[in-house]
Chains A and B, each alone.
Chain A
């Protein structure tokens, strides 16, 4: 009996599901999520604004002031001092709010697109950040001045995700036009288009494993699409490495610390773990949050936080990363 109770407590500790009944963002899907730089808190975003909770307890701490009609992304600068909150009003404006994290005050509100900003990404050196917007544009912003220093117009439809390469210059963006496009963040010039996907490309993530042979060597990138595939690329040399097809449309994506696993949140509310060397699905768990919009990994605590249309879900993974 004692063993059963202990097992129950363990499960309850590692796996927590919250329906957010008392939360101000209860009525809207969670569309943005990020751990605070010190890892003690988690910030959630939705059509109802920004909300801060403890981590991993998920207790309500408070809200953060925002004028965003819809919040679609939250990203901390590499030094953890600045938070970007991206979103806007659909078909009206794409906005990025720059928030000083130490006092949680907004220092800038930059209206920079004619449609929602779906994603932002910092350059690894923290000097620039880029946007992926619904108006089909990508913008490069100087982090210090807030000035737009370049724009990319190579996509024919909305951009849905964007990533900065380690070289602090190359950017990869994906979107509704079913392509992955590499471009230069200094001047917005096109480098390469990868067009193997046959559906909207929902997300892109760069492998945390750095090339060992050459600083300019082939970086591995993962993309997921409405065509239900997860694809691995070496985009700088235009190579599609391998792919696998999932039983449900993948919507959110993150790498394991070691770069040997991909965690993919899907439309069916399940998170699938994909072995990046074989592209086989090696584990699946049901998060029960409807469509999964966000995944966040806490490798120290061995927890994965899943957020989606019906709230969030915390899941423990046994394998130490």
Chain B
């Protein structure tokens, strides 16, 4: 009996060391201390001969590095407190990363306990949910503080407070500081506005939105008109942030804006007069419907999607691009749901000179490129980082990247696009052939066309990757800024400004059978879209909450067409019939000097950002001094020459160009001003001054922007 008692006592002493699970209790300590960050041992090549996976994305490899590597030098099981894994971060030994772990703190204790208990890997619990409190916070004033908590729910079901193991990081430390106060994690907000704190625990990242009013004075937006649920969402956030909204735009402004956004064209002068005289919600609705049904809409949105899909011609082979262009335009014109278009793009095979979507896989050089294009276009995400290492800011692993590439590895990309039994992609992590995989979801075992499995998953009932990416791009096209920017970088660590709105837009888009016209009309008919660009004292700094309209430079093709329309001198493009519009030229490799100067998308990267491919300073200088404008101004068949030859008055000519270029009549003072400037008895001098007037108008921001 005595022996048994001693045995129990011994067990009790040993039992004071709690069993510690490596993955769920040790890894977070390292992540929180910054050990596995990109600047430290999480760098691609590690640091100081010690490599950890970036932000703990590969627990097995990290366990190996800590426990096994170099004959276990980093953990001392005989004397746990002497372990290198403790001695370095606590500052006992010289450490390039300075002291990052309090030797008396809970993290260090947990490490000692783990080593003392035998450095076991533990029974990995699966994290099912990470909840943070608050997930959203609206402050009444600033500076202010918010307590942050994180609760993990593992597969065993018992919620566990993991606040002390969660890395809370501020996206803008100058605005929000994270600090520990009396054992709790606290966010100290130092600036007004919308801020984001990211809570990272294991492989989960949850954004916490902190909204602090920009003004001391409450504002009442309850009387603001609401066209649909989009306005509700926008006004709610503006109200929380106490940002006043600008007045609605004029009928002329709205007309020019919506015509440019939906068709890439300026409104016809006859339409302007008619619309302005009858403007109402019904008239607007009818006008939007007409635009959405127009050929111009199909041309313009074919161009937009062609850029995202990296359209370009192949050497000595124009037929493929022609078939691809014809197919895409046809699908858009016929109103085919984007889900069906997507499925065809992902799975098509056949003669690419006749089967348009079969060209999708020919726009890239290999399976890895295709995986990146698929990630970018269909999922709104940049997978490229995961080629060489797990994505530093997202959940994508190397297995995801190479697995998705493997989905397309058996595709033969000649004129005849077909699946073969050959072809593999090497997973750079394992140096073995990659297993086809739906990223972040599951491996695709067995034979068959894995592209179909991927497409089915992407477009399945509960999958919102494609819908979210698409509606965000549509929003950006109409409102000037995506709810997530950049639009091809949707991830947990880059949250939307309006999460609920993005969610609703995506749901609505799916319910409409992926109908882009449906979503575009919703956006066009909202009061948010109709807001003017007038700046008020309280909303001047707003560049993302849509309190006023944001001016956007016209895309190069649209600008070139607009100049042609205003001057009445069509641009000529080699190899195309006279009068063809720039928006119908989908091949970025086609030599078009004017577009090269104004800026084009490259075939390699496409254009998936708000900056499009504007040509910057050279484009501006060319507009000011180059041939592009000047030649059209003096063209004998041009509008100006015809008006002058027809003996039109200065006032009429000024009015004509105003309404064509900026969609409205000149104000009285503008008309007077220009007429005074132009007034000249000498015909030659009058012509020169008229040219200067049109030149001035076409170089003005009012013309060069959609506002």
Contact = CB atoms under 8 A, between A and B. Distances in A.
Q: Which of B71, B76, B94 has the most CB of A within 10 A?
A: B71
A27 B79 CA distance: 10
A123 interface: no
A48 interface: yes
A70 interface: yes
Interface string A89-113: 1111000000000000000000000
A47 B76 CA distance: 7
A261 B93 CA distance: 44
Nearest to A294: B71
B11 to A, nearest CB: 14
B77 A70 contact: no
Contact of A31 (B72, B79, B93): B72
A47 B82 CA distance: 11
A174 B87 CA distance: 27
A128 interface: no
Contacts of B49: 157-158, 176
Contact of B79 (A47, A90, A116, A176): A47
Contacts of A92: 93
B78 A116 contact: no
A72 B79 CA distance: 16
Given A91-B88, A92-B93, A157-B49, A134 B73 contact: yes
B71 A91 contact: no
Given A47-B76, A157-B49, A69 B70 contact: no
A72 B71 contact: yes
B271 interface: no
Given A28-B72, A47-B79, A70-B71, 12 more contacts: A28-B76, A31-B72, A47-B77, A47-B78, A69-B76, A69-B82, A70-B73, A91-B93, A92-B93, A116-B73, A158-B49, A293-B71
Interface in A109-144: 116, 118, 134
B319 to A, nearest CB: 44
Nearest to B88: A91
Q: Which of B70, B84, B94 has the most CB of A within 10 A?
A: B70
B79 A69 contact: yes
B78 A48 contact: yes
Contacts of A160: 70
Interface string A257-293: 0000000000100000000000000000000000101
A41 interface: no
B71 A89 contact: no
B666 interface: no
Contacts of B87: 91
B71 A118 contact: yes
Interface string B52-88: 0000000000000000101111101111001010011
B379 to A, nearest CB: 33
Given A158-B49, A293-B71, A46 B93 contact: no
B495 interface: no
A70 B93 contact: no
21 contacts: A28-B76, A28-B77, A28-B78, A29-B71, A29-B77, A31-B71, A47-B76, A48-B78, A69-B76, A69-B79, A70-B73, A72-B71, A89-B82, A90-B74, A91-B87, A91-B94, A118-B70, A118-B71, A134-B70, A293-B71, A309-B68
A17 B173 CA distance: 57
Interface string A183-211: 00000000000000000000000000000
A171 B70 CA distance: 22
A157 B68 CA distance: 18
B118 interface: yes
Contacts of A267: 68
B72 A27 contact: no
Contacts of B73: 70, 90, 116, 134
A291 B68 contact: yes
Contacts of B94: 91
Nearest to A91: B93
A243 B82 CA distance: 40
B70 A158 contact: yes
Contacts of A118: 70-71
Nearest to A227: B431
Interface in B193-216: none
A47 B77 CA distance: 7
A176 B50 CA distance: 11
Nearest to A157: B49
Q: Is the interface of A mostly helix, strand, loop or mixed?
A: loop
A48 to B, nearest CB: 4
A92 B82 CA distance: 11
Nearest to A47: B78
A134 B79 CA distance: 20
Interface string A165-182: 000000000001000000
A20 B281 CA distance: 85
A90 B77 contact: no
A134 B94 CA distance: 16
Contacts of A176: 49
A116 B94 CA distance: 16
A46 B73 CA distance: 11
Interface string A240-261: 0000000000000000000000
Interface in A1-59: 27-29, 31, 46-49
B76 A70 contact: yes
A98 to B, nearest CB: 21
Contacts of B82: 69, 89
B142 to A, nearest CB: 45
Contacts of A291: 68
B698 to A, nearest CB: 61
Contacts of B76: 28, 47, 69-70
A88 to B, nearest CB: 10
Q: Which of B70, B73, B94 has the most CB of A within 10 A?
A: B73
Contacts of B88: 91
Top 10 A-B pairs ranked by shortest CB distance?
Answer: A47-B78, A48-B78, A90-B73, A90-B84, A28-B77, A31-B71, A27-B77, A91-B93, A47-B76, A29-B72
Nearest to B115: A27
Contacts of B118: 27
A122 B130 CA distance: 57
A48 B82 CA distance: 12
Contacts of B71: 29, 31, 70, 72, 118, 293
A293 B69 CA distance: 11
Contacts of A157: 49
Nearest to B73: A90
A89 B88 CA distance: 12
Contact of B72 (A49, A89, A91, A309): A309
A28 to B, nearest CB: 5
Nearest to A27: B77
Interface in B74-117: 74, 76-79, 82, 84, 87-88, 93-94
Contacts of B72: 28-29, 31, 47, 309
A28 B76 CA distance: 8
A91 B91 CA distance: 12
A29 B69 CA distance: 12
A90 B95 CA distance: 13
A47 B79 CA distance: 8
Contacts of A46: 78
B48 to A, nearest CB: 9
Q: Which of A69, A91, A291 has the most CB of B within 10 A?
A: A91
A89 B118 CA distance: 20
B93 A27 contact: no
B599 to A, nearest CB: 44
Q: Which of A27, A46, A72, A176 has the most CB of B within 10 A?
A: A27
A235 B118 CA distance: 41
A123 B285 CA distance: 93
Contacts of B74: 90
